[in-house]
Amino acid sequence: MNKYLAEFVGTFWLVLGGCGSAVLAAAFPEVGIGFAGVALAFGLTVLTMAFAIGHISGCHLNPAVSVGLWAGGRFPANQLFPYIAAQVLGGIVAGGVLYVIASGQADFDVSAGFAANGYGEHSPGGYALISALVCEVVMTMMFLIVIMGATDARAPASFAPIAIGLCLTLIHLISIPVTNTSVNPARSTGVAIYVGGWALAQLWLFWVAPIVGAAIGANIYKAIAKEDGES
């Protein structure tokens, strides 16, 4: 159970830290942290939790990462469902805490977005569904390649959290304008259920695309990381 509790706490911190920075600080009130600050906040949540719980649960914090590591032969299938359940619950609880904090402001309007992911009219830059789909698949694919490479037994282990955290920061710098950046179904679900309506209607993409991208990325890494003589 300690692994699942670690995943719950870690995903809670990712959603609270990342989405919290977007909701509370991105445009506060005239000078905020902006896209770059939100991107850094997401990266820092993973970096800090990787050091805190990486030795306990592996610090997945993301159903797509868990599926990708399974596809890459790094994670047992019998732990997939409890890991994903813990991650989604952690995200939902974090969304609830963020809702309580944010709703203390007089003009708070959860329907304005609440850091939810979206496409079309709900994309920050007005990007269409196909753009959002391709973006989420490719970004998650690259995330898994970095995760698997940084945690390879041949890589310097102490630097893995830094590489992974900076990769997630870069992913957000690229894709916040397109989808508000998911690459993580638990992060998307954690806020979408409080927005309801359009956010729940579009949530399917932010489960399907990251999981597909993660599986592709894991298999690409397996192919390029083979040593001479391996089949």
Report, as an integer, the average pLDDT of 113-122.
95
Q: How many domains does the chain have?
A: 1
Q: Residues 207, 137: contact at Cβ < 8 Å? A: no
pLDDT band at 229 (very low <50, low <70, confident <90, very high): low
87 within some domain:
yes
83 within some domain:
yes
- CA-to-CA distance for 95 and 59, rounded, in angstroms? 19
12-54 pLDDT, tens digit per residue, is 999 999 999 999 998 877 778 999 999 999 999 999 999 999 9
- CA-to-CA distance for 130 and 154, rounded, in angstroms? 37
157-192 pLDDT, tens digit per residue, is 789 999 999 999 999 999 999 999 999 999 999 999
- CA-to-CA distance for 79 and 102, rounded, in angstroms? 34
122-168 pLDDT, tens digit per residue, is 999 999 999 999 999 999 999 999 999 999 999 987 899 999 999 99
Domain region containing 45:
3-225
125 within some domain:
yes
pTM of the model as a whole: 0.95
21 within some domain:
yes
230 within some domain:
no
120: its two tokens = 């079309």
Q: What is the domain-level CATH number for residue 21?
A: 1.20.1080.10
